[in-house]
Amino acid sequence: MQRLLLTSLLFFYINSECTAEDKYSEVGATFDGTICVDADTGTVLSESTADRLGHPASVTKLMTFLLILEDARDQQLNINSVVKISKEATQVGGSQVWLAVGEEFTVKDLMYAVMLHSANDAAVALALTRAPTVKDFVERMNTRAKELGMSNTHFVSPHGLTYGAGPHDTTTARDLAKLCVQLTTLKDAFTFSCSKEFNFRPGLKCIHLTNHNHLLNSYPGCDGFKTGWTVAANASIVTTARNDSHRVIAVVLGCDSPSGAKIAQRVRDQIAGKLMTKGLEKLRVFDAEKARLMASSQRDIPKAKSSTSTPPKKPDSEEKTGEKSWLEALFTF
């Protein structure tokens, strides 16, 4: 009976609709896919066309970010080391911090430029610190994606800025969630992703960077990760938030709105916020039900009668079978 009630409750919460009042109209808006997962386990809490292919735009930079952080963790790179800017890094369009040939910045400064301002030139500069050519670095990106089980992902750039018919960086909402589950294991990731402002290039040519992720200011507990938009890809976001007990990751890939690009970006953020709220609430309910059923299970165990002889003790595996059965039913998806 406990298992039946628990399964029914889980089904209800996973399929319930969010009823929060919309700030921006989602009428006519489309997206390639959405997903929300438990960051600790990767368990899917909700999803919609999560395996449909789309273009991540600047969300691509999260793989560049991951590789740099992992290299630093493995002591192959010092984030305080100085990078001398090459001509190739200065020849990228789109969002940038206007790097000049011969300028020098620390890896850390370039990472702030990438994560807050989505600077394409900084992404190329970082790529060239870890590989002989940008092409070689992109091969590293694709190798790491396969290692993480991102089976529907193919990168063509370290930044996500592509034009026209492409080729384009390609991925799915589910694959991006896998990438960010890995990012959450690296505590230094949040040093950059939750920063709201940063002064890049101190001095007369200083650029004051402001994080493009507006949910950092509007959603309680939000501390990452990255937004993206291009004409070819529409609006995407991977974001994360935590409360006292849990962390969730939400992905919205390829959001478009008939009201234009700016509204599409706001609708994208709105959908991501709803996904995180819904996910955190599900995890809260699961915790409450787990505690209640464990307490109920303990009360239902009959007290042993006194006896002059002590029966042989059952193996641990037998004693725990009843308890494990409903716990596994609760947390097996």
> Tens digit of pLDDT for each residue in 11-21?
444 444 333 34
224: tokens are: 């990452």
- H-helix segments, 134-260: 134-147, 173-183, 189-193, 215-218
Give the dihedral sign, CA 201/112/117/97: positive
pLDDT at 42 over 60: yes
| Per-residue pLDDT tens over the stretch 195-226 | 999 999 988 999 999 999 999 999 999 999 99
Give the dihedral sign, CA 275/277/281/283: positive
pLDDT band at 7 (very low <50, low <70, confident <90, very high): very low
pLDDT at 24 over 50: yes
pLDDT of residue 304: 53
DSSP state of 170: B
Beta strand pairing status for 207-210 and 33-38? unpaired
Residue 284 identity: R
pLDDT of residue 313: 55
pLDDT band at 242 (very low <50, low <70, confident <90, very high): very high
154: tokens are: 């193919």
Domain ranges (residues) in the chain: 2-289
Give which of 270, 274, 273 is closest to 262, Cα–Cα: 270
Residue 257 identity: S
d(CA 207, CA 251): 29
Beta strands of 214-312 (E only): which ranges? 222-230, 234-242, 247-255
Q: Which residues are catalytic?
A: 58, 61, 118
| Per-residue pLDDT tens over the stretch 130-175 | 999 999 999 999 999 999 999 999 999 999 999 888 899 999 999 9
CB of 273 closer than 8 Å to CB of 43 = no
Read off the pLDDT of each residue in 277-281 and give the average, rounded to a whole number: 97
Rg of the Cα trace of the chain? 24
CB of 292 closer than 8 Å to CB of 279 = no
Whole-number Cα distances in Å, 157 to 11, 43, 233, 251, 329: 40, 29, 14, 20, 42
pLDDT at 93 over 90: yes
pLDDT at 323 over 80: no
The answer regarding whether domain 2-289 maps to CATH 3.40.710.10 reads yes
Q: Is 97 left (phi over 0), alpha (psi -120 to 50) or beta?
A: alpha
Whole-number Cα distances in Å, 255 to 63, 101, 138, 182: 20, 36, 25, 24
pLDDT at 322 over 70: no
Expressed in angstroms, the distance from the first to the final Cα of the chain is 19
d(CA 176, CA 150): 8
The rounded mean pLDDT for the chain is 87
Beta strand pairing status for 33-38 and 247-255? antiparallel
pLDDT at 321 over 50: no
pLDDT of residue 34: 98
pLDDT of residue 168: 97
Q: Give the residue carrying structure tokens 């990452």.
A: 224
